[in-house]
Chains A and B, each alone.
Chain A
């Protein structure tokens, strides 16, 4: 039974076309996946259906649901329809809830606003719906505020809110992208169960092929505002008719060719490192309790080695990275780089800092927007004992090494894409020829194809310069692609350590097993089919 039928949907913003000729059908009780890279128009498609497009956007075409054209309904009727017929959840659970209202009120509001129940009755339904999404009354009474909940719990509240009136269609826009893998697995399970129970249609928007593969009955691949390919998930993923689909697949499983440069010479030695923060005082005269984010962590990173550090958000991996970079003071233990102790603050000598550089996650936030790129890339040079005379040459060389041109140095950072910015960040880290580069979620914000290119670049630079990497990520696939050895961190402790293939193929610690099991993966036999076909064609 067709639930939603979209024909020739187009959207333009101030005359600039964003979507064109988007057509698809959705059935009740089925999961429809919409995959594509950022900017491909996935979210725009869903916002157009809800008539929640940004100002200046104009939609055309038809979207029929229950006999009505969603694109043509007046605002009044849309308000009656949103939340009742179509529920929607979004990517960022941390900001999706009103911070000053209780979770009970926010779930109940869906019912109250549609006149479906009195406030008291609505609160009773809210209780039942919160129970259904796994937030039980003993730990999650209705008067909890959003800030008292974790990201996964908040996403559950959002789901309860979206399904409170049992809508026919649920749109989930990257519902698990901001969550840890174990939480992601739980939320996806919940969504799958809800679809089966309520016979809802679920439109699952994601950039993650593996998530779609595990969830969707039908899938449409989007690129640059068009659907390039659509069909049953398994058939489509196995055959991969379109070049773009093949490129996405190749990139998501991309394994850069690496040659190991690992030596036996220790470069970074972390011994019994302890890092703790004061927490808010329970009452004004109490001694503030401390939170131990890193608990007696020890490991060694050798010259030329690529070491992964994986764990879920809040496990202490970034805190540890900050301590290693000498940005925060340790409360116990020691960190040595090339035999010399890393001391945070002014005790740290410039020559020490010059030996290690960092690349962070956010390609937008990690540059001063008012500096030209050459100035940003040249900045670490002040760590040298004497200012070098050939700064422009060095900057040009660094930019060329990361695949950009010397001319790019005169541009400002906003003129570059996310992937290019991350290349510039790598150039900045590279200009001093450091021994160690700390990469903290350095490819996590990038689209799969760009990510594959940056991983290739990192592998290539390591081979050429014998760099050591400390590669911090929550993404096991990426860590597997780029590291020799891996540390698994949980709640401030390293629970498992070993050669990367061994840890991921035969995890020993229960936590590593959970992580590996929770990571969505494309079925291996789906991957082979099309490759085999292509070989016969060639």
Chain B
């Protein structure tokens, strides 16, 4: 297990380095001057030169790369060109919304999906299965922003149970944060839960057809006991794969939902960065997202190994 962890950690570091080189190259090295690009057509040569200096575009490439990486390791992501504040602060502020929202949505999605998938698989072809499959089909087909608007209309505007939008901020206390994130989390979670439930169902159906389930039944386990004790854990590998992908997607991919609920999340930051040609913000947020994906993948692989002892050897 230790060897496995070391080898996975090694490949994690390697992936981070490769990713940072690629991102650096895309923003800084590709033809065209980022400073000119950011300032637009009407910029004076002096202001472009000034920006070039601020962007650290002068000097040999390897040195610039190292400077950038060293800055990141110290938490210095540079100054945002449009907001005129340090990018690090900007990102940290947005993460306070996006990270809890993502975790909240994933938790909801997992808590809904796994029982639904297991329930459907255990009743394959019968009414319960058909009902779950119908609902998940609906969940995948319905756009989440439309569903979000319905939630706002009924839960917020008619019933007044939860706020219709905006982020209370952590200074208002965790309960307020919880309330302001609940509707967005539900909207994000439902389509993900629908996908996850289907993956859980098909993986479990495949597992239930395996020889070792027959062995368990021959030992005297009931159908339900065999499913719980031998089926579910073996069916979790594909579920984890999808969960990992969903985490990466939700971290910045909730931009439409962030807009519907007027949340200052990471998705909106990167969208604004792109529209305002604020390459410093874009570069930092992209690096952060890539790092998040790599770390989540690492966590998923460790979880694989915890579930399945056959995967505990170094690759």
Which residues of A come within 8 Å of B, CB atoms? 50, 52, 75-76, 79-84, 87-88, 90, 92, 95-101, 109-110, 113-114, 145, 147, 158, 161-162, 280-284
Contacts and interface: CB of A to CB of B under 8 A. Distances in A.
B229 A109 contact: yes
Given A82-B218, A88-B218, A109-B216, 16 more contacts: A50-B218, A79-B222, A82-B217, A90-B218, A92-B211, A95-B211, A96-B212, A96-B215, A97-B215, A98-B230, A98-B234, A113-B219, A162-B218, A280-B314, A284-B6, A284-B10
Contacts of B214: 52, 90, 96
B220 A84 contact: yes
B172 to A, nearest CB: 45
Nearest to A283: B3
Interface in B47-101: none
B230 A101 contact: yes
Contacts of B225: 113
Contacts of A96: 211-212, 214-215
Given A283-B314, A284-B10, A98 B218 contact: no
B3 A282 contact: yes
B309 A79 contact: no
Given A96-B211, A284-B7, A110 B220 contact: yes
Interface of B: 3, 6-7, 10, 210-212, 214-222, 225, 229-230, 233-234, 307-310, 313-315
A99 B234 contact: yes
Contact of B212 (A76, A81, A83, A98): A98
A52 B217 contact: yes
A512 to B, nearest CB: 33
A155 to B, nearest CB: 11
A75 B224 CA distance: 12
Given A98-B234, A113-B225, A52 B218 contact: yes
A280 B312 CA distance: 11
Contacts of B229: 109
A90 B211 contact: yes
A92 B222 CA distance: 22
B123 to A, nearest CB: 12
Nearest to B8: A284
Nearest to B216: A98
Nearest to A144: B309
A101 B307 CA distance: 10
B211 A100 contact: no
A87 B218 contact: yes
A165 to B, nearest CB: 9
Contacts of A147: 309-310
B129 to A, nearest CB: 13
B150 to A, nearest CB: 40
B221 A79 contact: yes
Contact of A99 (B212, B220, B314, B315): B212
Contact of B215 (A90, A100, A280): A90
Contacts of B215: 90, 96-98, 158, 161
B10 A145 contact: no
Contacts of B220: 79-84, 110, 113-114
Contacts of A99: 212, 234, 308-310
A490 to B, nearest CB: 27
Contact of A82 (B7, B219, B313, B315): B219
A74 to B, nearest CB: 12
Given A97-B212, A100-B234, A284-B6, A110 B219 contact: yes
A198 B23 CA distance: 70
Nearest to A148: B309
A167 to B, nearest CB: 10
A499 B230 CA distance: 51
A100 B307 contact: yes
Nearest to B210: A95
A95 B126 CA distance: 28
Contacts of A113: 219-221, 225
19 contacts: A79-B221, A83-B220, A87-B218, A90-B218, A95-B210, A95-B212, A97-B215, A98-B234, A99-B234, A99-B308, A100-B308, A101-B230, A110-B220, A113-B221, A114-B220, A147-B310, A162-B218, A281-B3, A284-B6
Residue among B215, B219, B307 with max Cβ neighbours from chain A (10 Å):
B219
Contacts of A280: 313-315
Contacts of B3: 281-284
Nearest to A280: B313
Nearest to A102: B309
A306 B313 CA distance: 43
Contacts of A79: 220-222
A81 B308 CA distance: 31
Nearest to A50: B218
What 3 pairs between A and B have smallest CB-CB spacing? A83-B220, A83-B219, A88-B218
B13 to A, nearest CB: 11
A110 B225 CA distance: 12
Nearest to A95: B211
Nearest to B236: A100
Given A280-B314, A283-B314, A145 B218 contact: no
A93 to B, nearest CB: 9
A100 B218 contact: no
Contacts of A114: 220
B290 to A, nearest CB: 23
Contacts of B315: 280
A110 B10 CA distance: 42
A282 B7 CA distance: 10
A467 B233 CA distance: 52
Nearest to B2: A283
B314 A284 contact: yes
Contacts of A101: 230
Contacts of A161: 215, 219
Contact of B314 (A76, A88, A90, A281): A281
A90 B233 CA distance: 23
Contacts of A50: 218
B314 to A, nearest CB: 6
A100 B207 CA distance: 12
Contacts of A110: 219-220
Contacts of A88: 218
Nearest to A110: B219
A488 B290 CA distance: 56
B139 to A, nearest CB: 28
Nearest to A145: B309
Nearest to A288: B314
A426 B219 CA distance: 43
Contacts of B10: 284
A79 B222 CA distance: 6
Nearest to B5: A284
A83 B220 CA distance: 5
Residue among B211, B225, B233 with max Cβ neighbours from chain A (10 Å):
B211
Contacts of A95: 210-212
A83 B225 CA distance: 14
A145 B310 contact: yes
A280 to B, nearest CB: 5
Nearest to B312: A145
Nearest to B221: A113
